[in-house]
Structure 1
């Protein structure tokens, strides 16, 4: 496990306490950070042990958000794409002690243009709601924001061998996959905070890009189930996410660089 010594006593708030946010908060806590975590679910809130939990819904902000935002760093990790709600949240952040923000986004902001895409290419889809929300955070003068764009998330409860069940077929089966394991997501977020890497955009994706048929057949076989059928098509639309910036800027070595070498039969995913 990497040692993040600059996280000790940092006050960090994590908005979104599910599949990614909860283990992230636990990781930050393990490195000595003072962690707030927020969720919309009262049931989920009751499961947060040794963390300071809050109920926060950005579409219905209450005074609880002010206490939640009493931190130095905010990690925003929610699936909501309500732009008006994010504007209201940003107003609250600007009135808080928060000075650094990580916004967890997605490489879905890029088009399927059958090419390799890096952060410097300027190919983001301006109509994509995630890109518009990214821009709102970056436009604020009250804090600095680093955007982390994750590719398809796999690991633990998100076992790719289960993605195509109940007769679902694989569409665009010859398209390249862009995937990232949660065990790589967590240390990357921690390192950005630890090293104070702000006002950056990062694509986060494993090194390898097999096609959908190859990868999902491999993942299904790891479960001992019949691989999904592929929808026949002569049209292939894809993108390949370039991860060189995150590797060079953070000097990061992926735990799972090759998605075809992950042992999905183990209780990892």
Structure 2
């Protein structure tokens, strides 16, 4: 693969695009912010203004021209009265076919899984009934059910890394709820590392991988480490609602790529 398009150059998409440029790939990047167009150029990513939700798609054909792989990093909107997430994926399909782009990586989320007493793997079929989780599952199916597209779905844990530290939010709360429940987190560097490994290894079609760090036993374990690193004090511990427990395994992608989690 020589040319890659990253749809959604935000907190995850922009550093991923920059890393791919550093590896020698030609990279197109999209944004819904006109102010970010120049910023993308400064990291040698060819910028395009694309907003699927508002039908700003006049540059989509140019964005996908001669592209070998599309990476989708756009998240769903929370609490939409009329969800648009999977519809946005459907809008992409004719453009992919017209430009013969059949390899797609989608950044999804482990939030699609329902609480479970067992370890959750990619084979688990119990899914959350939350509206946002259903939106994400519907978007996954747009890709997985299309006979033209060879999709790789990466279900990410809770995101953390530079400029994204959930511990700051937790420290403002009255209590650290569910301190003993399992935690499912993933650092930006690990997402980039595993995504790059998938691109550089043989691309598998219609595959699903969880990307979740194995290094944290519980919410208290994770937030204590983060509080210490950031010189913060955690709030008092709240109660544990074990009906909400869900431990997701990210081992499959580590085995496939031969890479270890850094964080």
Gaps of 5+ in 2: 78-84
Question: What is the rounded CA distance, in whole Å, between the counterparts of 2:218 and 2:46 in structure 1?
Answer: 42
Query: Any idea what the Cα deviations from partners look like across 1:191-221, whole Å, max 9, x if unmatched?
Result: 1111132221101111133221232133123
Q: Tell me the CA shift for residue 172 of structure 1.
A: 2.2
Question: What is the rounded CA distance, in whole Å, between the counterparts of 1:255 and 1:165 in structure 2?
Answer: 25
Q: Which of 55, 58, 63 pairs up with 1:63?
A: 58
What is the aligned partner in structure 2 of residue 18 from structure 1? Answer: 10
Q: Which of 81, 84, 89 pairs up with 1:86?
A: 89
What is the aligned partner in structure 2 of residue 260 from structure 1? Answer: none
Q: Which of 69, 93, 96 pairs up with 1:73?
A: 69
* Aligned-residue CA RMSD (Å): 1.9
What is the aligned partner in structure 2 of residue 264 from structure 1? Answer: none
Q: Which of 216, 224, 228 pairs up with 1:221?
A: 228
Q: Tell me the CA shift for residue 97 of structure 1.
A: 2.5
CA contact (8 A) 2:116 2:247 kept: no
Alignment partner of 1:111 is 2:92? no
CA contact (8 A) 2:7 2:72 kept: yes
Gaps of 5+ in 1: 1-6, 257-269
Q: Which of 101, 106, 111 pairs up with 2:104?
A: 101
Query: Any idea what the Cα deviations from partners look like across 1:87-139, whole Å, max 9, x if unmatched?
Result: 11223222223120001101111111132011123233477211111011011
Alignment partner of 1:171 is 2:165? no
Query: Any idea what the Cα deviations from partners look like across 1:26-62, whole Å, max 9, x if unmatched?
Result: 1111111110000101112221111100011111132
Q: TM-score, normalised by structure 2?
A: 0.87
Q: 1:172 to 1:143 in 2, by over 3 A?
A: same
Within a 5 Å distance, the mapping from 1:199-238 to structure 2 comes to: 199=205, 200-233=207-240, 235-238=242-245
Q: TM-score, normalised by structure 1?
A: 0.86
Question: What is the rounded CA distance, in whole Å, between the counterparts of 1:249 and 1:223 in structure 2?
Answer: 34
SS in 1 for 2:106: strand
Bigger Cα displacement from structure 2, 202-211 vs 162-171: 162-171
Alignment partner of 1:130 is 2:136? yes
